[in-house]
A and B are shown apart, each in its own frame.
Chain A
Amino acid sequence: MALVELSSVTYTYPTTDKPALKDINLKVEQGEFLAIVGSNEAGKSTLCYTISGFIPHFFHGDLVGEVQVAGLNLEESKLNEWVLNVGLVFQNPFNQISGSKFTVFEEIAFGLENLGVKRSEMIERVERAMELTGISDLADRSPYSLSGGQQQKVALTSILVMEPQVFVLDEPTSQLDPIGAREVFEVIKEMSRAGITVIMAEHKIEWVAEFADRVIAMHDGQIIIEGSPQEVLTSPLLPEHGIGTSRYTQAAKQARTEGLFSETTPLPVTLDQAVAGFSGGNHED
């Protein structure tokens, strides 16, 4: 049985009539790295909130269908039980930081404190998590004195330290410089290799291609295509639904219309694929 399973899930936020998720069926296996792409308001964040239990336990509204994680049923579970299995990193780090702690170290320890973890274990776990995300030098700073990117890493670390089985991330690198973002992706990939299930909404297509095992694309609350990164990210369905594609894909498509890119070479998503694809075109002459 899949670790995460959504069956016929439809969800409508309070005060609206239009469902934000429509008949979602999704299974995610343990240790899988699933990426969610889609235009704004396609339902990516709503799906993240649902898997992580904020819907329906924090955002009420109308949830139909069944959500299960690790054999537990969402509506029958309390949020404080649910979050032991599933951790959510918000898109906006300002929403995650508690506001009640004076240092980054305390901020990251906050969740463990609430669980009553032993002091020595807590210190060790916090230090290890900060090392993983490369923020050890920020330990004594106030969370509010940090740049947006640094805050984003703190938010991520504060969830990572909880060691959830399922790690849900809503554009976790949106404020990070490219190298900082790559470090974060690598940490997340490492976790996924260690058996943690990762579900990530992300706009950075090239990185999705590089890191994810499987991709779903969403539009208007529905999953419009699901498959391998290459298959989904080069699908004509993406631009048709206003979803961005990689600049390599776009350039190759344009080159193809001029006969400059082979019809049989798969459209590239990453730099390596693009180098291979565009060099191939040259050598055919």
Chain B
Amino acid sequence: MKIEINNLHFTYPGEIIALSGINLSIESGEKVAIVGQNGSGKTTLVKHFNGLLLPTNGTIRIGDWDTKDHSVAELASRVGYVFQNPDEQLFNSDVKSELGFGPRNLGYDDDRTEELVEDAIELTGLDNYRDTNPYDLSPTWRKMVALGSIIALDSPIVVFDEPTTGQDAQSVEVIARIADELHSRGKTLITISHDIDFCAENFERIIAMSEGEILLDGSVLEVIAQEESLATTFVDPPQLTRLGKELGFDQTVNDQASFLGAYRLSHEQN
């Protein structure tokens, strides 16, 4: 399902301009990371995808729907949004009810709801916690519950707002695996992240935002090579990309495999 944004402007009360003139389209099945400094408009932008915010000017279409003609509840069938802070999202008294809330609200019958909940439990590894109150879980697991409750919506578009914040190496791997799985099911995945290494290793397209506008938009390798431009929105290229550059590699590298490939090559040449 395509996302099509035309000349989107958004101003918060108090005349705080958050987005000024965003034009963007994201095709079905893309894996897109949005990066940029704090306050650059990343979260404001994605909150337009599911109608949590409506444009001050301009339009945003999710498939054939203009978001201003549809309620947040309706849009949830098309766009699942995992909040940055799980505590803003969770309110049921046990994990299973939390995961079942979305699908039930979308009008799925008990069997289908059960199926979606079980799938979300399996993907997030929440099997041991199905009857636990989300607030008795650690922040890591609460994040998984928040993720699971959106996976259970089975929406064609899934947005993760800062999925790796405060997560350890193993949880980041789990999140990357979930993203892969959803991608292989044909879903469009969009993440907001300050973790450029995670973005470069797991996404295909990067959009860099700055002061409410799109600064860069391209493939991972295209964008992470733009060190000077990224610096203007307070983003450093990934660690191994910087190392490769310092070592004088000819090509841009984005992960360990490409780094070691280029290093072997330079080693053989010397």
Is A148 touching B162 in the complex (CB atoms < 8 A)? yes
Q: A246-B239, A248-B243, A271-B239 are in contact. Are A255 and B260 (CB under 8 A)?
A: yes
Nearest A residue (CB) for B136? A15
Partner of A39, one of B87, B168, B259, B270: B168
Cβ-based interface call for B31 (8 A): no
Q: A147-B43, A282-B266 are in contact. Are A247 and B169 (CB under 8 A)?
A: no
Partner of B162, one of A150, A171, A175, A274: A175
Cβ-based interface call for A94 (8 A): yes
Q: Kindly list chain B residues whose C-beta atoms are within 8 Å of the C-beta of A150.
A: 38-39
Nearest A residue (CB) for B35? A177
Produce 1/0 per residue, A172-207, CB < 8 A to B: 001111111100000000000000000000010010
* Docked CA distance A206–B168 (Å): 14
Is A148 touching B263 in the complex (CB atoms < 8 A)? no
Cβ-based interface call for B171 (8 A): yes
Produce 1/0 per residue, A254-266, CB < 8 A to B: 1100101000000
Is B270 touching A285 in the complex (CB atoms < 8 A)? yes
Cβ-based interface call for A31 (8 A): no
Q: A178-B236, A179-B234, A250-B256 are in contact. Are A203 and B166 (CB under 8 A)?
A: yes
Q: Of residues 3 to 40 in B, which have CB atoms within 8 Å of A's CB atoms?
A: 12, 14, 16, 36-39
Cβ-based interface call for A279 (8 A): yes
Shortest CB–CB separation between residue B141 and chain A, in angstroms? 8
Cβ-based interface call for A228 (8 A): no
* Docked CA distance A150–B84 (Å): 14
Number of residues in B with C-beta < 8 Å to the partner?
46
Nearest A residue (CB) for B244? A278
Is B38 touching A147 in the complex (CB atoms < 8 A)? yes
Q: A179-B37, A271-B246, A282-B270 are in contact. Are A40 and B239 (CB under 8 A)?
A: no
Shortest CB–CB separation between residue B117 and chain A, in angstroms? 24
Q: Kindly list chain A residues whose C-beta atoms are within 8 Å of the C-beta of B243.
A: 248, 251, 271, 274-275, 278
* Docked CA distance A260–B87 (Å): 46
* Docked CA distance A260–B265 (Å): 11
Q: A251-B256, A254-B260, A285-B270 are in contact. Are A275 and B246 (CB under 8 A)?
A: yes
* Docked CA distance A175–B194 (Å): 8
Q: A148-B84, A149-B39 are in contact. Are A40 and B246 (CB under 8 A)?
A: no
Q: A180-B234, A254-B260, A282-B267 are in contact. Are A243 and B168 (CB under 8 A)?
A: yes
Is A177 touching B37 in the complex (CB atoms < 8 A)? yes
Cβ-based interface call for A281 (8 A): yes
Cβ-based interface call for A7 (8 A): no
Q: Kindly list chain B residues whose C-beta atoms are within 8 Å of the C-beta of A174.
A: 165-166
Cβ-based interface call for A98 (8 A): no
* Docked CA distance A41–B170 (Å): 12
Q: Kindly list chain A residues whose C-beta atoms are within 8 Å of the C-beta of B55.
A: none
Q: Kindly list chain A residues whose C-beta atoms are within 8 Å of the C-beta of B16.
A: 145
Cβ-based interface call for B58 (8 A): no
Q: Kindly list chain A residues whose C-beta atoms are within 8 Å of the C-beta of B184.
A: none
Cβ-based interface call for B197 (8 A): yes
* Docked CA distance A255–B138 (Å): 36
Q: Kindly list chain B residues whose C-beta atoms are within 8 Å of the C-beta of A146.
A: 39
Shortest CB–CB separation between residue B208 and chain A, in angstroms? 11
Q: A91-B139, A271-B246, A275-B247 are in contact. Are A148 and B38 (CB under 8 A)?
A: yes
Cβ-based interface call for B71 (8 A): no
Is A242 touching B170 in the complex (CB atoms < 8 A)? yes
Q: Of residues 147 to 181 in B, which have CB atoms within 8 Å of A's CB atoms?
A: 162, 165-172
Cβ-based interface call for A92 (8 A): yes
* Docked CA distance A154–B96 (Å): 36
Is B169 touching A244 in the complex (CB atoms < 8 A)? yes
* Docked CA distance A181–B234 (Å): 10
Q: Of residues 130 to 156 in A, which have CB atoms within 8 Å of B's CB atoms?
A: 141, 145-150
User: A interface vs B, CB < 8 Å?
Assistant: 38-41, 91-92, 94, 141, 145-150, 171, 174-181, 203, 206, 242-248, 250-251, 254-255, 258, 260, 271, 274-275, 278-279, 281-282, 285
List 10 additional contacts besides A92-B87, A147-B43, A282-B270; criterion CB under 8 Å. A39-B168, A39-B169, A141-B14, A148-B85, A242-B170, A244-B169, A255-B260, A260-B263, A271-B242, A278-B247
7 pairs, A vs B, C-beta closer than 8 Å: A40-B170, A175-B162, A178-B196, A203-B168, A247-B197, A271-B242, A275-B246
User: B interface vs A, CB < 8 Å?
Assistant: 12, 14, 16, 36-39, 43, 84-85, 87, 138-140, 162, 165-172, 194, 196-197, 231, 233-236, 238-240, 242-243, 246-247, 256, 259-260, 263-264, 266-267, 270
